[in-house]
Amino acid sequence: MDVRFDNQVVVVTGASTGIGAAVARAFGASGAKVVVHYNSSSAEAQQVAGDIDQSGGKALLVQADVTDSTQASVIIDQTLAYFGRIDVLVNNAGGLIKRSPVAEVADDVYDYIMQLNMTSLFQMCRQVIPVMERQGHGNIINVTSIAARTGGGGGSVVYATSKAAVATFTRGLGRELAAQNIRVNAISPGVILTPFHDRYTEPERMKALVSTIPMGRAGTSEECVGTVLFLASHTMSSYVTGQVIEVNGGMYTP
């Protein structure tokens, strides 16, 4: 079945690299109008937007720091001003920030991790829900992590906790918005080869992680795309909401 999103408006936060970039490109290639959000990676975001335009979609670049509580409205307002509606919101922006044992995590680092991974996502949802209610439909897809299931490892407990909050938020919001014809789901990537691990995971740790994956390798950003498109498609998943789908090569099987 050919999954198409012709003329649908899709907002992807953190769309300049990694999973976000792969998802944004895939929506564009499927005919969508894609809002490519980025914070500091301007050149990478411009490349993603260019690829979308060349593949038959239409891209809008939006810069915003999602850790600033006022910036969610910037993303939503610019999208509505340019495209007039929002059909799909993919909350992908997030990060580990730094690996530290809990006893060594400073207050400002804790606050930043929670703001980046959970609070910003809450702000985006709070801003987009009234838009989707007015439209009579909508679809929200969040990105959590296998760390939400395992508690994280090697100095990532606070990150894992923030991602567990995303998973719980997804389940609850899916139930809350079901009657309004707004579906809310999440993907939970495992070990995926992205700039995330380039930045935070040294080679020996990566080798140890891969050794625990039944498929014997790390995944790629592109291998997360199909699950996102499935969740975004009314044709494919109209009866799916409040779910967290694991994409991890068998590393964790709940």
User: Consecutive 10-residue runs of the chain (254 residues): their mean pLDDT?
Assistant: 89 97 98 97 97 97 94 97 98 94 97 97 97 98 97 93 98 98 98 80 86 96 98 97 98 92
Using CA atoms in the order 180, 181, 182, 188, what is the torsion angle rounded to 10 degrees? 130
Within 8 A by CB and 6+ apart from 99, the residues are 154, 155, 156, 200
pLDDT at 205: 84
In the structure encoding, which two tokens stand for residue 81, read together? 């001003």
> CA triplet 16, 128, 135: central angle to 5 degrees?
120
- Give the number of other CB atoms < 10 A from CB of residue 177: 20
Q: Rounded to whole angstroms, how far apart are CA atoms 232 and 10?
A: 9
CA distance 27 to 49: 11
Residue 225 CB partners (closer than 8 Å, separation 6+): 19, 22, 23, 26
pLDDT of 76 reads: 97
Report field, pTM of the whole predicted structure over 0.85: yes
Which pLDDT score is estimated for 1?
A: 53
Instruction: Give pLDDT, residue 165.
Output: 98
Complete domains list, the chain, with CATH: 9-247 (3.40.50.720)
Residue in 38, 82, 112, 159 annotated catalytic: 159
> Residue 82 catalytic?
no
Q: Are 119 and 69 in contact (CB under 8 A)?
A: yes
Q: Which phi-psi region, left, alpha or beta, contains residue 96 (left: φ > 0; alpha: ψ -120 to 50)?
A: alpha
Question: Encoding tokens for residue 115?
Answer: 């703001």
